[in-house]
A and B are shown apart, each in its own frame.
Chain A
Amino acid sequence: GAVVSQHPSWVICKSGTSVKIECRSLDFQATTMFWYRQFPKQSLMLMATSNEGSKATYEQGVEKDKFLINHASLTLSTLTVTSAHPEDSSFYICSAREAFSYEQYFGPGTRLTVT
């Protein structure tokens, strides 16, 4: 149980275009989902927290207009990187949490390369 998937697993896009990454909880209802960014050989940095049906809460320094997060259902959250630039290239990982639970379950990650 407690499986989280991400799609796509990797994506290459051209500078200036937008790309959407999906995060799904497959066998539980995720009232809260989290998006992290990981640079090569570094730790995970929390970008934002999203609760189903409400606006995401972004961490300090994360541009909310650039990283659009939508959590429209209890099993799906999406991260859209708008007007992507090469510096947005990174590994993006989502995690999900059930209501009344503290533990998070992590997705396998999406590698984004912007050329």
Chain B
Amino acid sequence: GNSVTQMEGPVTLSEEAFLTINCTYTATGYPSLFWYVQYPGEGLQLLLKATKADDKGSNKGFEATYRKETTSFHLEKGSVQVSDSAVYFCALLSGTYKYIFGTGTRLKVLA
């Protein structure tokens, strides 16, 4: 079946450091891929998405490229801020219209 694997957290970085959160997936067909962010005590907010191979999603300085050959959708940001501290979820959406979420990666950015 479909699945999403994210790197274990927590990830602790200093402000302005480079961020990579790895995400790989297993799916039949051609899923859409998403990154969601969850701030403390809140629901999920869509950060970015990509709907087909080689698409790059980007938003607020974050980027992720849909790599079909490596079945990956790694999240990157060149310079993190304290306000980026949150939990990040990688997810895929298949033809069943059901999201499959990764386990989430907690990011903590220190000033």
A-side interface residues toward B, CB under 8 Å?
6, 32, 34, 41-44, 46, 49, 93, 95, 97, 102-109, 111
Interface assignment of B44: CB less than 8 Å from any CB of chain A: yes
CB–CB B42/A109 < 8 A: yes
Interface assignment of B104: CB less than 8 Å from any CB of chain A: yes
B103 contacts across to A, CB distance below 8 A: 42-43
Could you pull out 17 A-B pairs where Cβ atoms are within 8 angstroms? Answer: A6-B43, A32-B97, A41-B104, A41-B106, A42-B104, A43-B89, A44-B101, A46-B98, A49-B98, A93-B44, A97-B97, A102-B32, A103-B46, A105-B46, A106-B36, A108-B42, A109-B42
Given A41-B106, A102-B32, answer yes or no on A46-B43 (Cβ-Cβ < 8 Å): no
A106 contacts across to B, CB distance below 8 A: 36, 43-46
CB–CB A104/B99 < 8 A: yes
B36 contacts across to A, CB distance below 8 A: 106
Identify whether the interface residues of A are mostly helix, strand, loop, or mixed.
Answer: strand
In the assembled complex, the CB of A109 is this many whole angstroms from the nearest CB of chain B, namely 4
The number of residue pairs between A and B whose CB atoms lie closer than 8 Å in the complex comes to 45
A97 contacts across to B, CB distance below 8 A: 97
Identify whether the interface residues of B are mostly helix, strand, loop, or mixed.
Answer: strand
Within 8 A of A (CB), among B32-80: 32, 36, 41-46, 49
In the complex, besides A49-B98, A111-B41, 16 extra interface pairs with C-beta distance below 8 angstroms are A34-B99, A41-B106, A43-B89, A43-B101, A46-B99, A93-B44, A102-B97, A103-B46, A103-B49, A104-B93, A104-B99, A106-B43, A106-B44, A106-B45, A106-B46, A109-B43
Q: Which of A43, A46, A93, A106 has the most CB of B within 10 A?
A: A43
Bound state CA distance, A39 and B61, in angstroms? 29
B43 contacts across to A, CB distance below 8 A: 6, 93, 106-109
CB–CB B104/A43 < 8 A: yes
In the assembled complex, the CB of A22 is this many whole angstroms from the nearest CB of chain B, namely 14
